[in-house]
């Protein structure tokens, strides 16, 4: 009996040692401390599903086949993509890292993959690698870059047996599961070797086949071997697995389950992250955000009223909620507001630069210029900045382009000049 107990105890200790065999490198422990203090990051879902403006799950939710979905990349051409602006916007908001989709559940690689042609370089008219450009800007501006990578794949033929999702793609009911895992590891190797030092990998999709052999030890080991500082996290809604470096909670705070995703989740001892969106989906969705956020005083009530006026009606409301004209109008309204805010920030920066040139006293420079929230016309603001830079202009008449004289700045305004008597006479006065 004692021998049986000793053997059972030895087996339990061996299992415990195996379960906790991962020993993070010193660089990894330092990265965990940084992540714990970073507090705020930007989560970007971007892919060919954005063409349909119906969220990142549109392929599954609308039961699209591969033949139908493979037509989308030809319509995906983000010529207005400016990663420098994305990173600058994140930094201005206080964000210290960016997590972006390298591959979502549709299997489409948003980078130049050599192990598949189902990627942005080979299948879209854009023909560029946006993640490489974003990685360069993140390094330049001091923002860490994480890659979201889906373990689930609705496109690859070897993702078989099927899981809980992706049953409508029309793939043949056959495949080699371990060949798919080799494919996934090969793409991860590309991300870890071709894009410089990254912050980590944000996995998602284990929950689709929770009883499958995912070979997590091999995959996690590949990441830690190629980039020891890279943090590994997985959105599996469980307690942290061995080899993971941080724990995330989808649309919930740690320990809560208001969204229904984290019923089996347990808060571990790793650094924690909550990922949330103000939209109904993480990807672009034509119905727009639940709430438009504006930090200016008094802007929240105005945003609510504007959203009620501009956004399409919600489900179950009056007819016309899916009117394309209303959708385009709402999107254009939000774009117009964003452009106005960018122009105001630029003007404020120019005024601050002009104030700095006046002297080294920053307080004096700030006091001599108007606050960005003050309502002044563009010409009035430009004239005020010029007056601080070069002093008042001499009261002389300027020569126009065609040789005509223009009134100087001290000349009376048009409404202050003398007018004919017929405009000044009082009632009853004779007309001259």
Q: In which element (H, E) is residue 104 found?
A: none
- Which of 12-26, 37-51, 64-78, 171-185 has the lowest average pLDDT? 12-26
Which one is predicted more confidently, 170 or 424? 170
**Phi/psi class of residue 178: alpha, beta or left (left: φ > 0; alpha: ψ in -120 to 50)?**
alpha
**Which residues make Cβ contacts (< 8 Å) with residue 285, sequence separation at least 6?**
53, 54, 55, 279
Query: CA-to-CA distance for 112 and 119, rounded, in angstroms?
Result: 6
Domain boundaries, the chain: 25-285, 286-386
* CATH 3.40.50.300, domain 25-285, yes or no: no
Report H helices in 145-291.
177-193, 216-226
- Which tens digit of pLDDT belongs to each residue from 115-143? 999 999 999 999 999 999 999 999 999 99
Residue 348's pLDDT band (cuts 50, 70, 90): confident
Q: Are the C-beta atoms of 312 and 330 separated by less than 8 Å?
A: yes
Query: CA-to-CA distance for 33 and 11, rounded, in angstroms?
Result: 34
The pLDDT of residue 125? 97
Residue 261's pLDDT band (cuts 50, 70, 90): confident
- Which tens digit of pLDDT belongs to each residue from 28-56? 999 999 999 999 999 999 999 999 999 99
**Global pTM value:** 0.65
By percentage, how much of the chain surpasses pLDDT 70?
67
Most confident residue range from 136-150, 290-304, 310-324: 136-150
């Amino acid at each position: 009996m004692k021998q049986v107990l000793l053997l059972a105890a030895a087996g339990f200790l061996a299992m415990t040692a195996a379960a906790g065999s991962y020993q993070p490198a010193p660089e990894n422990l330092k990265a965990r401390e940084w992540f714990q203090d970073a507090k705020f990051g930007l989560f970007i879902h971007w892919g060919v599903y954005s063409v349909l403006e119906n969220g990142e799950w549109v392929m599954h939710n609308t039961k699209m086949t591969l033949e139908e979905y493979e037509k989308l990349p030809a319509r995906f051409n983000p010529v207005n993509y400016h990663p420098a602006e994305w990173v600058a916007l994140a930094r201005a908001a206080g964000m210290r890292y960016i997590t972006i989709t390298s591959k979502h559940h549709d299997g489409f690689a948003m980078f130049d993959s050599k192990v598949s042609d189902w990627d942005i370089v080979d299948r879209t008219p854009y023909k560029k690698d946006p993640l490489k450009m974003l990685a360069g800007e993140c390094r330049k501006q001091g923002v860490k870059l994480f890659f979201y990578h889906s373990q689930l794949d609705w496109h690859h033929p070897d993702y078989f047996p099927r899981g809980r999702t992706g049953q409508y793609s029309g793939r043949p009911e056959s495949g080699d599961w371990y060949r798919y895992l080799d494919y996934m590891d090969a793409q991860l190797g590309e991300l870890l070797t071709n894009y410089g030092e990254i912050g980590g990998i944000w996995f998602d999709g284990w929950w689709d086949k929770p009883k499958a052999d995912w070979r997590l030890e091999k995959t996690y080991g590949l990441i830690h071997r190629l980039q020891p500082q890279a943090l590994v996290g997985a959105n599996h809604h469980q307690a942290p697995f061995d080899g993971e470096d941080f724990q995330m909670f989808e649309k919930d705070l740690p320990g809560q389950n208001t969204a229904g995703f984290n019923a089996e989740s347990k808060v571990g001892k790793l650094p924690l992250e909550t990922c949330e969106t103000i939209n109904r989906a993480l990807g672009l969705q034509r119905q727009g955000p639940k709430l438009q956020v504006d930090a200016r005083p008094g802007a929240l009530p105005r945003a609510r009223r504007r959203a009620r006026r501009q956004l399409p009606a919600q489900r179950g409301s009056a007819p016309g909620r899916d009117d394309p004209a209303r959708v385009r109008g709402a999107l254009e309204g939000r774009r117009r507001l964003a452009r106005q805010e960018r122009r105001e920030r630029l003007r404020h920066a120019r005024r601050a630069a002009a104030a700095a040139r006046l002297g080294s006293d920053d307080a004096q420079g700030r006091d001599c210029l108007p606050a960005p929230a003050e309502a002044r016309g563009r010409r009035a603001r430009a004239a005020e900045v010029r007056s601080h830079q070069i002093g008042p202009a001499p009261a002389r008449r300027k020569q126009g382009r065609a040789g005509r004289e223009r009134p100087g700045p001290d000349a009376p305004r048009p409404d202050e000049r003398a007018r004919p008597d017929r405009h000044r006479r009082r009632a009853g006065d004779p007309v001259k």
